Amino acid sequence: MKKKKKQNKKACSEIKVNFTEEDVISRLKKHFPNPKTELNFRNPFELVIVVLLSAQTTDIKVNEVSPKLFEKYPDPYSLKNAPLEDLYEILKPINYYRKKAKFIKEAARLIVEEFQGNVPDNLEDLMKLPGIGRKSASVILVNGFNKPAIVVDTHVKRVAKRLGITCNTDPLKVEQDLASFFSKENWTYISNALVLFGRYICTARKPKCYKCYLVDICPYEPKNLKEVKKNDSSNK
């Protein structure tokens, strides 16, 4: 049996980019001057709940369901006492609604009993809430408290890798690479901007390089520089 040859890959520490933090941010701002999460919320408590509901569900669908939920259960005190069957009925349009109903009810209980009714504003305590991992906790810190954190979702991982800022796939290592490249004062901005940039411009399939302001500094190849119109017969 032949042994597979080891590929000589450069260590992440050896990867060098030919652009600066300012180069990236100035171009991102042309796309998203004031980026925000697309989940609708009015306070940190509502943000915790919609973030929990958004797992494997579109933000659009969560935004359709959440007004009815918050009209009936506007705070953690009322939500922790909500009958599960009622939550099931409200959340039925979203994926995994039964599991999520239990998560939000338990999260509300913990917010009341462990944090005196206030959503915690630090990573460690946020991650004590059911269904809240590091990524979700960072989303809450950035958007609910305007605190510096780095959100690493599938979009951010893809963009960071294509730009050459990281060669890692582990979210924590990607976060560390981004934290090393971007100054802390810009973490809040880039967290939301990179998510939206990856969602709408630097998409997984057929990235829209033809409309990307970062195209002149991006090392990713092959670039998709031609827009294909929906009614283009050559695309049928």
Examine the residue annotation and report whether 80 is marked as an active-site residue of this protein: no
Distance CA 37, CA 113 (A): 28
DSSP state of 236: -
Distance CA 103, CA 131 (A): 6
Question: b/e string for 154-179 if b means 16 or more Cβ within 10 A?
Answer: ebbbbbbbbbbbbbbeebeebbbbbe
DSSP string of 15-84, one letter each residue: ---SS-HHHHHHHHHHH-SS---SS--SSHHHHHHHHHHTTTS-HHHHHHHHHHHHHH--SHHHHHT--H
- CA–chain centroid gap for 135, Å, is 7
Instruction: Spot the catalytic one: 80, 135, 157, 177.
Output: 135
Place of tokens 């002149």: 216
Examine the residue annotation and report whether 208 is marked as an active-site residue of this protein: no
Of the candidates 133, 146, 163, 114, which has an alpha carbon nearest to the alpha carbon of residue 55?
133
Instruction: Spot the catalytic one: 23, 59, 153, 173.
Output: 153
Catalytic residues: 135, 153
